[in-house]
């Protein structure tokens, strides 16, 4: 609006100036004509005297003879002036009696108006005025007009500003977050409609995003594996509680580096590896726990944009691995000892180095060692079956007092040899289980009670039925087990004192432990070194 009014004002100013200029030019020309007529009369009457008299100097007066020679000029010396016969106004005046013309000066800077009149003697009187005069008049006339126009322009500016403000104010006052209700102008209805539908869309997307984030959070929070997402600068972007627990880290600050979570060298190697584009795995071992970190790079537009780290607790797996390695080593060793003995004895027999009378002794050796081997292999098979969770027998209800009696009968011979007396106390008690495993448990406990006893000692088996179920206690008066070994005696191949071990495989108590666990029974041990040990098995109520 301001620009339009400015353009209109400028155009009218130009127009006014043009019109005024034309008008004033005519006016000036008319004045010039009158002045020329007036002067011509003077010259007609007084000749040169009139011209040399007291003439007003603002207009130029030139008197030219009929042949063009300049007779007089009030601005220049006529002697220096060339013939004026060729001037348009003079030629015209010579022909018609009067002539006028307008010419620009050489520099085009100013315009001169000429008026010429033929005098009665044939000479021509010419007067001229410069255009300056016209412009002076125009400027004078235009001044008030320009003032009015400027005032109009200021008014236009003020009005357009005010109108613009009035238009915009209700739009500014609109709440675009909640653009319900009528728009301030009908023209805005379409825009408001669009904003409304966009707002709805954004709201839906936000809810969707929030739901997905919650889902992701719920999934990762319930994972036992640690999850950590980092960016290219190792800043933590996302993590779950398991990650903090496994890395033994505190909650990271916003934008904190992953290196602040864990200072172990393996962890750093993982992060560096993944950020250089390599999937990296490391084991972190500390204070008996073992964690595996797997770091994978995240590719973004062909470059590594960050990494995802998964932290697993592999302590148990590592321990199992360790046990398996130890077990394999132990089995090989245990198998080798009797086999070497058998091999040696067989060689001696083969080479005929043995007296016929000694053959039964050597054959007995082979027999005993082979027996030991079979016992060992059987024990390994039993253990591995229990490990696999299969027993190889049916579940039955077994009367434990009778079973104990049977087991003790099997050990009578050995007990006598060791000068150990066997006692069975208590009464009938029922337990549910696989008979072979029940017998195995009782046999191994009683066998140990005899084996690790002292001459003259005793073994007492007590079978009882309690409120919670059947209970069997095997008590001996033997060498006892020191406190630090009470857990370890149940480990495979663990032997407290190798010299005392005799024919034992080192697997007996392992079979007891796994057997009891298989049957759901509780196993406990009380012992005092030099006094004796009591192993108790409590079975669930039938």
Helix, strand or coil, per DSSP, at residue 312: strand
What minimum distance in Å lies between the beta carbon of 480 and ligand ADP?
Answer: 6
What minimum distance in Å lies between the beta carbon of 437 and ligand ADP?
Answer: 15
Site membership for ligand ADP, residue 465 (CB under 6 A):
no
What minimum distance in Å lies between the beta carbon of 295 and ligand ADP?
Answer: 43
What minimum distance in Å lies between the beta carbon of 468 and ligand ADP?
Answer: 24
Cβ closest to ligand ADP, residue 297 vs residue 478: 478
Helix, strand or coil, per DSSP, at residue 111: strand
What minimum distance in Å lies between the beta carbon of 298 and ligand ADP?
Answer: 52
Q: Cα–Cα distance between 459 and 415 in angstroms, integer?
A: 9
Give yes or no for a contact between 93 and 116, defined as CB atoms under 8 angstroms apart: yes
Give, as ranges, the residues between 507 and 526 that touch ligand ADP (CB under 6 A): 507-510
39: which 2 tokens? 């002067």
For the stretch 234-239, contacts whose Cβ atoms lie closer than 8 Å and that sit 24 or more positions apart, written own/partner, are 234/258, 234/259, 234/271, 234/275, 236/261, 237/306
Cβ closest to ligand ADP, residue 66 vs residue 485: 485
Task: Give strand ranges (E) for 91-200.
Answer: 98-104, 111-118, 124-130
Label residue 222 left, alpha or beta by phi (over 0 means left) and psi (-120 to 50 means alpha).
alpha
Q: Which of 494, 522, 536, 540 binds ligand ADP (CB under 6 A)?
A: 494
Q: Which of 426, 457, 469, 504 binds ligand ADP (CB under 6 A)?
A: 504
Cβ closest to ligand ADP, residue 255 vs residue 482: 482
What minimum distance in Å lies between the beta carbon of 487 and ligand ADP?
Answer: 11
Q: Which of 180, 350, 467, 497 binds ligand ADP (CB under 6 A)?
A: 497
What minimum distance in Å lies between the beta carbon of 329 and ligand ADP?
Answer: 17
β-strand pairing of 458-466 with 421-426: parallel
Give, as ranges, the residues between 467 and 486 that touch ligand ADP (CB under 6 A): 476, 478-481
Cβ closest to ligand ADP, residue 357 vs residue 530: 530
The H-or-E segment that residue 461 falls in is strand 458-466
Give, as ranges, the residues between 443 and 462 that touch ligand ADP (CB under 6 A): 444, 448-449, 452
Half-sphere exposure of 278 (CA within 13 A, CB side): 9
Q: Which residue is nearest to ligand ADP (CB)?
A: 504
What minimum distance in Å lies between the beta carbon of 518 and ligand ADP?
Answer: 17
Q: Which of 505, 514, 515, 519 binds ligand ADP (CB under 6 A)?
A: 505
What minimum distance in Å lies between the beta carbon of 497 and ligand ADP?
Answer: 6
Cβ closest to ligand ADP, residue 129 vs residue 440: 440
Please state, as a whole number, how many other Cβ atoms lie within 10 Å of the Cβ of residue 424: 15
The H-or-E segment that residue 335 falls in is helix 315-350
- Percentage helix, strand, coil, to 5, in the chain? 55, 20, 25
Q: Give the count of residues interacting with ligand ADP (CB under 6 A).
A: 23
Helices 359-388 and 315-350, interaxial angle, to 10°? Answer: 160
232: which 2 tokens? 């290219």
Chain positions contacting ligand ADP, by CB under 6 A:
444, 448-449, 452, 476, 478-481, 489, 494-497, 501, 504-510, 533
């Amino acid at each position: 609006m301001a620009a339009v009014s400015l353009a209109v004002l400028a155009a009218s100013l130009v127009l006014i100036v043009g019109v005024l200029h034309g008008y004033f030019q005519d006016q000036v020309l008319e004045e010039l004509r009158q002045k020329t007529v007036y002067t011509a009369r003077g010259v007609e009457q007084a000749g040169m005297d009139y011209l040399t008299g007291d003439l007003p100097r603002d207009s130029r007066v030139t008197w030219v003879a009929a042949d063009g020679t300049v007779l007089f000029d009030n601005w220049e010396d006529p002697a220096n002036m060339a013939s004026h016969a060729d001037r348009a106004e003079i030629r015209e005046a010579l022909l018609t009696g009067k002539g006028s013309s307008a010419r620009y000066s050489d520099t085009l800077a100013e315009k001169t108006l000429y008026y010429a009149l033929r005098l009665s003697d044939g000479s021509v009187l010419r007067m001229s005025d410069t255009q300056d005069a016209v412009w002076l008049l125009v400027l004078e006339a235009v001044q008030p007009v320009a003032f009015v126009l400027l005032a109009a322009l200021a008014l236009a500016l003020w009005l357009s500003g005010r109108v613009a403000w009035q238009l915009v104010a209700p739009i500014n006052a609109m709440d675009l977050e909640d653009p319900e209700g009528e728009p301030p102008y009908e023209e805005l209805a379409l825009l408001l409609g669009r904003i409304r539908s966009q707002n709805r869309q954004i709201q839906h997307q936000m809810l969707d995003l929030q739901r997905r984030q919650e889902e992701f959070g719920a999934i990762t929070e319930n994972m036992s594996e640690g999850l950590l997402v980092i960016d290219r600068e190792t800043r933590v972007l996302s993590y779950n509680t398991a990650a903090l627990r496994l890395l033994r880290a505190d909650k990271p600050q916003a934008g904190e580096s992953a290196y602040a979570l864990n200072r172990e060298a393996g962890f750093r190697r993982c992060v560096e590896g993944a950020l250089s584009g390599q999937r990296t795995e490391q084991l972190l071992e500390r204070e008996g726990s073992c964690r595996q970190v797997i770091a994978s790079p995240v590719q973004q537009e062909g470059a590594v944009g960050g990494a995802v780290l998964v932290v697993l607790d592999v302590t148990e797996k590592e321990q199992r691995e360790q046990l398996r390695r130890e077990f394999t080593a132990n089995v090989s060793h245990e198998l080798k000892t009797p086999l070497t003995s058998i091999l040696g004895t067989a060689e001696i027999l083969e080479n005929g180095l043995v007296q016929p009378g000694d053959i039964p002794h050597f054959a007995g050796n082979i027999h005993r060692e082979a027996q030991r081997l079979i016992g060992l292999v059987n024990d390994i098979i039993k253990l591995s079956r229990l490990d696999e969770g299969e027993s190889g027998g049916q579940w039955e209800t077994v009367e434990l007092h009778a079973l104990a009696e049977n087991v003790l009968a099997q050990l009578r011979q050995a007990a006598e040899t060791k000068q150990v007396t066997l006692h069975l106390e208590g009464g009938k008690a029922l337990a549910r289980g696989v008979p072979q495993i029940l017998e195995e448990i009782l046999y191994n406990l009683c066998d140990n009670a005899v084996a690790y006893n002292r001459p003259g000692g005793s073994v007492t088996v007590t079978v009882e039925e309690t409120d919670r179920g059947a209970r069997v206690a095997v008590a001996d008066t033997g060498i006892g087990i020191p406190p630090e070994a009470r857990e370890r005696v149940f480990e495979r191949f663990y032997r407290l004192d190798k010299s005392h071990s005799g024919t034992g495989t080192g697997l007996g108590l392992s079979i007891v432990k796994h057997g009891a666990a298989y049957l759901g029974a509780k196993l406990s041990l009380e012992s005092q070194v030099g006094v004796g040990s009591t192993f108790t098995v409590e079975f669930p109520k039938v």
